[in-house]
Structure 1
Amino acid sequence: MTPLTTFLSLIGRYGTQGFAVSIFLGLALPQFAAAARPLLPITIFVFTMITFARVDSAALKELIRRPAPLGLACLWLVAAPVALVLAVVAVVGRGSMDPGLLLGLAIMAAAPPIMSAGAVALMLGLQPTLLITAVLVTTLAAPVVSPVVAEFVAGGAVPLDLAVLIRRLVIFIGGALAAAMALRWWLGEARIRANKASFDGLGVVMYFLFAIAAMDGVLAAMIATPGRVAGFLGVAFAMSFMGFLSAELVLRPLPRSDRFVLGYATGQRNMGLLIAALGAATPDTTFLYFALAQFPIYLMPQIVKPLANRLRAAAPVPSRGT
């Protein structure tokens, strides 16, 4: 092993702790946040590519032979966030909601699950195959599904250029898929699987850079408008916990470990994918909600780790994912 892969492997072994620490380091480095903001699309692209490259082809074929669980998981990961966001909007009131927050919630509902969801499942020792495959399918469908859902949830009060958003998502996701195929051809699936810890570590590094970039303006907003920041943060954590609860209550046909990881993915959405596609058109308050929504994404793996340990002890399953 080279010093680089050794370093990445070390980071990867402490993945859940690394996720939690990186968000606070990003917040503590505001002087670098503005400079790092252009790195947002790059970090998202790299993590998307890595996730595509780490697909377990044998497990994928097995899932395709049993399409019902995969279909249910994909349908859930598309429909459940929309239902949860619409419920929040109905309770708060569309007319009384900040337009930037409304667009942020629309982006959360429309975005596919975070690409790191499968990696988090692996770090927690849970079977990731169904989750990873469902994340891949919903991400590949994002250029068609996400813009339509975002416009539907946001309504006419927050206009979106659907054609531009679709084109950018096609280029972004298609490019990541092509790069992943090239990486699999170069390294081979067996070698990628053997270097699991190194890829986990690379993911933590990417998310550390992402955290710094995403925290641009957050510390200033905390000082200037603490009430707004607290409210946005509360909404983000509420969405995360509602994802777990709804999946546990509704997805009874699936094993509990699958319900658990799908619940995680329900509330943790790849908003950065749409933020990267929107680019400079993203309103400041929408970017603030996107930034604050990273806190549950980064902290939840550590928060739910004891529950995952109990699940694993009660019904241990072999982890085949890479």
Structure 2
Amino acid sequence: MLALGVLLGLAFPALADLARPLMPATVFLIVLGTLLRVDSQAVIAALRRPSLSVLLPAVVMVVCPLMIGVAGHLLGLSPELALAVVLAVSAPPSSGTAAVARMLGLDSAVPLMVTVLSMVLAPVTVPLLAGWFGGLEISALELALRLALLIGSAEGVAFLLRRHAAAVLAAHDRVVDGAIVAALLVFAVATMAGIRAQIAADAQAATLCLALAFAFNIALQAGGAMLLPGNLAQRLTVGLILGNRNVGLVWSALGAAASPRMALYFAAMQLPIYILPRLIETLIGREKTKVPL
């Protein structure tokens, strides 16, 4: 359904243009929904494991962007595209990752915990990485303030709702998941605003962006699967965390500072996020049907 949202945005540019102003609101709802689904006890248990509470967020928010930035340099990407690649990977894990993990039958506590911790780090790490790689038409301080405002407002609303409506939230947890997916769908349509025209104008650049988006996502998921010990489900969960990023958070914070080429890459990033979980589901299904010798 989420991949269909991308195709709808491409097929009907007017619909994408109509949804584009809603992108910041959908990002806010996605972040808010993720915070509302946090299980305090599960998060506290995960925080007691340094490999998950310290190592994994550091890898997600610092190591991965640096590695991808070096890879972009070695591949000879243009400075504009290389910066877009770094910014996309410097974003926290996708807020829908926990919901996707639950749909795949994986542990959702770890993605939630790492996502929350990464969002706390984002106003610091994203501007620093953007400033280090250079070329962004916005100051690091302004980017930090925009990220802090977007994330902080969602955290504030989540705190109030959890404090005054905890029973209602507990009774309608599936509704929260549904709201996250619905916001993701609108976001998917909105990301395609102006993209069809860019594809028509420069199909080669669009193909390159799409190939890089899939290649880097798969590489990060494969690296994540090998990062920590565990069974297949645990490894796939870590892979999802590293590969699927909340590009919309950084994109919304950038606003007009995101150039058309950067927007093209950010849009291309949506396809592997929405398509690869189906392949992961296939892997899980094959693992479950294996007959022991």
Structures share a fold, TM > 0.5? yes
In the TM superposition, 1:214-253 aligns within 5 A as 214-252=191-229
Secondary structure of the residue aligned to 1:293 is helix
In the TM superposition, 1:8-23 aligns within 5 A as 18-23=1-6
Do residues 258 (structure 1) and 216 (structure 2) align? no
Deviation, 1:184, is 1.5
Residue of 1, 17, 21 corresponding to 1:38: 21
Could you give the per-residue CA deviations for residues 101-146 of structure 1, whole angstroms, max 9, x where no partner exists? 1221121132111111111101111011112101110111111111
Aligned partner letter, 1:274: V
Native 8 Å contact 1:117 1:265 kept in 2: yes
CA distance in 2 between partners of 1:99 and 1:34 (Å): 28
In the TM superposition, 1:147-162 aligns within 5 A as 147-152=127-132, 154-155=133-134, 157-158=135-136, 160-162=138-140
Residue of 40, 43, 68 corresponding to 1:57: 40
CA distance in 1 between partners of 2:288 and 2:123 (Å): 35
Residue of 69, 74, 78 corresponding to 1:98: 78
Which structure 2 segments of 5+ residues have no match? none
Secondary structure of the residue aligned to 1:125 is coil
TM-score (normalizing by structure 2): 0.92
Deviation, 1:204, is 1.8
Native 8 Å contact 1:36 1:212 kept in 2: yes
Which structure 1 segments of 5+ residues have no match? 1-17, 315-322
Do residues 167 (structure 1) and 145 (structure 2) align? yes
TM-score (normalizing by structure 1): 0.84
Do residues 139 (structure 1) and 119 (structure 2) align? yes
Aligned partner letter, 1:151: G
Q: How many residues align?
A: 290
Cα-Cα RMSD: 2.0
CA distance in 2 between partners of 1:116 and 1:56 (Å): 15
Do residues 294 (structure 1) and 270 (structure 2) align? yes
Tell which has more relative contact order, 1 or 2 (C-alpha 8 A, sep 6+): 1
Secondary structure of the residue aligned to 1:119 is helix
Instruction: State the match for 1:29 in structure 2.
Output: 12
Using a 3 Å threshold, how does the CA distance of structure 1 residues 158 and 166 change in structure 2: closer, same or farther? closer
CA distance in 2 between partners of 1:312 and 1:72 (Å): 30
Native 8 Å contact 2:91 2:246 kept in 1: yes
**What is the percent sequence identity of the aligned residues?**
32
